[in-house]
C-alpha cells in the first residue's frame, strides 16, 4: 500500500467514524413527538384512539385543547386520577409536540351502545346550547374546546359529573348553558355527541 493510498483510506475511515458519531448524537437528541406520544398509547390507544371507556380519545383533538388540558393537569387546576402525576414529567415544549402529533390524527370512531331516544333529544338541544364552542356536532372545538364527537359516553359522563360537582372548572359561558338544562337533558346531549361519527 502506498502512503498516498493509506492516507486516502484512513481519511474514509475518519469520515465513517464521523458519520457514526453524528448518528450517536442524534440518538441522544430530544425525543420526537411520535416517541413522546407512544407513552400515551397504553391508555389512549395507538395514535390516540382510545379502547377503554374511562380513557378519552385524543386523535383529532386540537393542539390548543391538548396543551390546555396538559397544563391544567400539571398545575392541578383540572382534577384527575392519573394525568396530574403524569403531566408533571413533561415540559411546555413537549406538550406542544404532543399536541401537534395528536391533532394530526384522524378523529377516532368509537363503537358503543347508546340510547336512540336520548340521541334524538340531544340532537335538538345541541346547536343552541353547546354548538357555539363544540362546533360541527362536536367534531371540532373552538380554540381550546375539546372534540366530543364519538368520545366514550362513560368518559363524558365522568367529566360532566366533575363539572356539576364543581371539581372541574367550567368556562363561564358553558356554565350559563349547562345551568339552564336538567340533568336528563345533559345526559341526552352526551349521548348525542358520543354517537356522532
Q: Which residues bind ligand HEC (CB under 6 A)?
A: 39-40, 42-44, 54-56, 58, 66, 68-70, 72, 80-83, 86, 98, 129-130, 132-134, 144-146, 148, 156, 159-160, 168, 171, 173-174, 177-178, 181, 186, 189
The C-alpha cell that represents 99 in the structure block: 399536541
Distance CA 151, CA 148 (A): 5
Distance CA 73, CA 83 (A): 6
* Residue 16 CA: distances (Å) to CA of 5, 6, 9, 193: 17, 15, 11, 57
The residue (of 46 and 80) whose beta carbon lies closer to ligand HEC is 80
Distance CA 134, CA 147 (A): 7
The residue (of 66 and 107) whose beta carbon lies closer to ligand HEC is 66
CB of 136 to ligand HEC, least distance (A): 14
The C-alpha cell that represents 138 in the structure block: 362536536
**CA 123: distance to chain centroid?**
25
CB of 193 to ligand HEC, least distance (A): 7
Cα first-last separation, the chain:
71
CB of 85 to ligand HEC, least distance (A): 9
The residue (of 10 and 167) whose beta carbon lies closer to ligand HEC is 167
The residue (of 14 and 82) whose beta carbon lies closer to ligand HEC is 82
CB of 86 to ligand HEC, least distance (A): 5
Amino acid at each position: 500500500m502506498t502512503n498516498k493510498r493509506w492516507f486516502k483510506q484512513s481519511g474514509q475511515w475518519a469520515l465513517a467514524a464521523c458519520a457514526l458519531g453524528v448518528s450517536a448524537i442524534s440518538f441522544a437528541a430530544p425525543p420526537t413527538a411520535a416517541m413522546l406520544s407512544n407513552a400515551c398509547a397504553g391508555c389512549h390507544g395507538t395514535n390516540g384512539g382510545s379502547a377503554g371507556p374511562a380513557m378519552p380519545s385524543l386523535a383529532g383533538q386540537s393542539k390548543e385543547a391538548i396543551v390546555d388540558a396538559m397544563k391544567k393537569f400539571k398545575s392541578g387546576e383540572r382534577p384527575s386520577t392519573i394525568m396530574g402525576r403524569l403531566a408533571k414529567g413533561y415540559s411546555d415544549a413537549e406538550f406542544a409536540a404532543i399536541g401537534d402529533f395528536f391533532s394530526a390524527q384522524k378523529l377516532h370512531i368509537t363503537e358503543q351502545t347508546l340510547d336512540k331516544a336520548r340521541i334524538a333529544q340531544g340532537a335538538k338541544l345541541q346547536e343552541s346550547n353547546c354548538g357555539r364552542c363544540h362546533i360541527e356536532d362536536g367534531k371540532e372545538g373552538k380554540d381550546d374546546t375539546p372534540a366530543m364527537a364519538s368520545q366514550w359516553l362513560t368518559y363524558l359522563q365522568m367529566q360532566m359529573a366533575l363539572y356539576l360537582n364543581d371539581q372541574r372548572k367550567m368556562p363561564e359561558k358553558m356554565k350559563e348553558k349547562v345551568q339552564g338544562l336538567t340533568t336528563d337533558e345533559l345526559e341526552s346531549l352526551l349521548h348525542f355527541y358520543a354517537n356522532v361519527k
